[in-house]
Amino acid sequence: MRMLLSNYAWYELLGPLTLAAAVMLSFWYVRTIIKSPHYHTTKTQTSYFFTAVALFYLAQGSPFDIIAEDYLVSALILQLSIMAFIVVPFFILSLPKAYLNIFFWRHKRARVAAFMFKHPWPLAIIFNGLITVYLIPSVFNVVSGNVLLQFIYEVAIVLFAFLTWWVIIQPSDEVAEHSYFMRVAYVFFTTLFLMPIGIFLLVLQDPVYTTYTGVAGELIPALTAVYDQQAAGGLLKFVQITCYSIALFHLLKKWGLQEEENEGKVDEDTRVVQGVVIKLNDRNRRKSRKKR
């Protein structure tokens, strides 16, 4: 591996552009979020952000990026999985709710985002569809053969990953407010959407990604082109299922706590008559107010 990497210049190994982007993101977060008197940032949120930045650089700027681009399709899929299923949700979790509320309240362009978040299922279909189509061999060989096209495609995947994770995490109620039931169902079905392409890669017995077929075994001799493809499918499903399982656990936990807090509560639209819970309609509600 060392001999192979020695053929690359230092700037290719270190990824200065990615490093600069990571530094600029860190500077923005410290100056805009942490040092601002308007927002309260917890240690957990700070750790989420810097973990996301560190993973972003390691995946996109370190020598691992060269391995992903030139040697192993499994490394490329792991790189994409880290960005879409770990970096994106960590970044969302790092943002204080007060900052998000102010952002969406002041910027009129955020209304477009609000419209999208209120219709979450197309976002999940597009996000998973982009990954599935990307891994179809005929599409993958065309996209990976063009640097600009691959960059645009991967940016689109990360963008829709952001929108999909936003629906799951729901860090701000200013944009959309979905029930825990809907979000749990959302996680469940988005987990299933990538199942076909993952199984396809695991059972495939012929090398189909021509970009990596010619260099198969150069980095790891025992890792043939077929094994590399199977590893790609396994890594994709492992990262996806692990991250979604954690999200599902937290959603169910918060849902349970919410149900415990609401147990026994009666709002203005509810009356209890001899132990029977009655929901008032608009007409009964007006009559109740007149009696008062």
- Please provide the average confidence, as pLDDT, over all residues in the chain: 84
**The pTM is what?**
0.84
Residue 282 pLDDT greater than 60, yes or no: no
Residue 272 pLDDT greater than 60, yes or no: no
SS (H, E, C) 51-112: HHHHHHHHHHCCHHHHHHHHCCHHHHHHHHHHHHHHHHHHHHHCCCHHHHHHHHHHCCCHHH
- Quote the CA–CA distance of 81 and 77 in Å, as a whole number: 6
Q: What is the pLDDT of residues 160-208, one digit of tens each?
A: 999 999 999 988 776 677 888 999 999 999 989 888 888 888 888 888 8
Residue 275 pLDDT greater than 50, yes or no: no
Element (H, E) at 276: strand 276-279
Q: What is the pLDDT of residue 164?
A: 93
Burial grade of 270 (CB within 10 A; 0-12, 13-18, 19 or more): exposed
Residue 51 pLDDT greater than 90, yes or no: yes
Residue 222 pLDDT greater than 90, yes or no: no
